[in-house]
Amino acid sequence: DIQMTQSPASLSASVGETVTITCRASENIYSYLAWYQQKQGKSPQLLVYNAKTLAEGVPSRFSGSGSGTQFSLKINSLQPEDFGSYYCQHHYGTPYTFGGGTKLEIK
Amino acid sequence: VQLQQSGAELVRPGASVKISCKAFGYTFTNHHINWVKQRPGQGLDWIGYINPYNDYTSYNQKFKGKATLTVDKSSSTAYMELSSLTSEDSAVYYCASEGGLYYGTFAYWGQGTLVTVSA
């Protein structure tokens, strides 16, 4: 199975800051990488797929990049509603696997 | 598109439970239904998917023998049965659909079903 490793595990930032979360795959997954946001007690929400394509309705302050084994999610000008947990997940065939998550908290 | 899951379950160790996911707003047979497990305070684990068009299933090896996926096309409902339950199966279970995007990109999620295994 492809292992997905996210960093950092937690992150503290202020409103207006820019943050970057990284994700590494244990083997080449080309651009088959998705990012999700999950708020406490809620279902995950798709943010990005195919490494850099924003899902419908996702604000442009979110951006995804990378290919192969190294990927990142950048959030420009953090807003209060951006705090929560973020997960990467490969969609390069089954079994789909998720990273361990990054918890983004308010500083 | 909406996926509506059944309510929370409290089940005894060793028992089985069947949870449901009813789809609204699209043609049910057009998109896979995936199931994802999330233990309290933990990450996400993909269980498997079912293709409602032909009942084809694909399971994560770690859930083979634990989860069984089925559908009822007449009611646009997907089911997941979990057997021989232990405390390790206590979790929130989500159904999710690609909704026309690439396979494995979960654009739509149910609200989750909490399964608690306790005597």
Name the residue facing B105 among A45, A91, A98 (closest C-beta). A91
Q: Please give, one letter per residue, the 3-state secondary structure of B28-90.
A: HHHCCEEEEEECCCCCEEEEEEEECCCCEEEECHHHECCEEEEEEHHHCEEEEEECCCCHHHC
CA distance A96 to chain B (A): 6
Q: Specify the pLDDT at position B21.
A: 98
pLDDT in tens, chain B (119 residues): 999 999 999 999 999 999 999 999 999 999 999 999 999 989 999 999 999 999 999 999 999 999 999 999 999 999 999 999 999 999 999 999 998 888 899 999 999 999 999 99
pLDDT digits (tens, 9 = 90+) for A57-107: 999 999 999 999 999 999 999 999 999 999 999 999 999 999 999 999 988
Nearest-angstrom CA–CA distance, B33 and B109: 10
The C-alpha atoms of residue B32 and residue B14 are separated, in whole angstroms, by 29
Taking contacts as CB-CB distances below 8 angstroms, the residues of chain B near A100 are 43
Look at residue B100 in the predicted model and tell me its pLDDT. Answer: 82
Cβ atoms of A10 and A105 closer than 8 Å: yes
Is pLDDT above 90 for A43? yes
User: What whole-number distance in Å separates Cα of residue B91 and Cα of residue B118?
Assistant: 12
> What pLDDT does residue B67 have?
98
Q: Closest chain B residue to A54 measured between Cα atoms?
A: B107
Nearest to A43 among B46, B104, B110 (CB): B110
Chain B residue with CA closest to A98: the answer is B44
Q: B60 CB near a chain A CB, below 8 Å?
A: yes
Residues with Cβ within 8 Å of B43's Cβ and at least 6 positions away in sequence, in order, are: A87, A98, A99, A100, A101
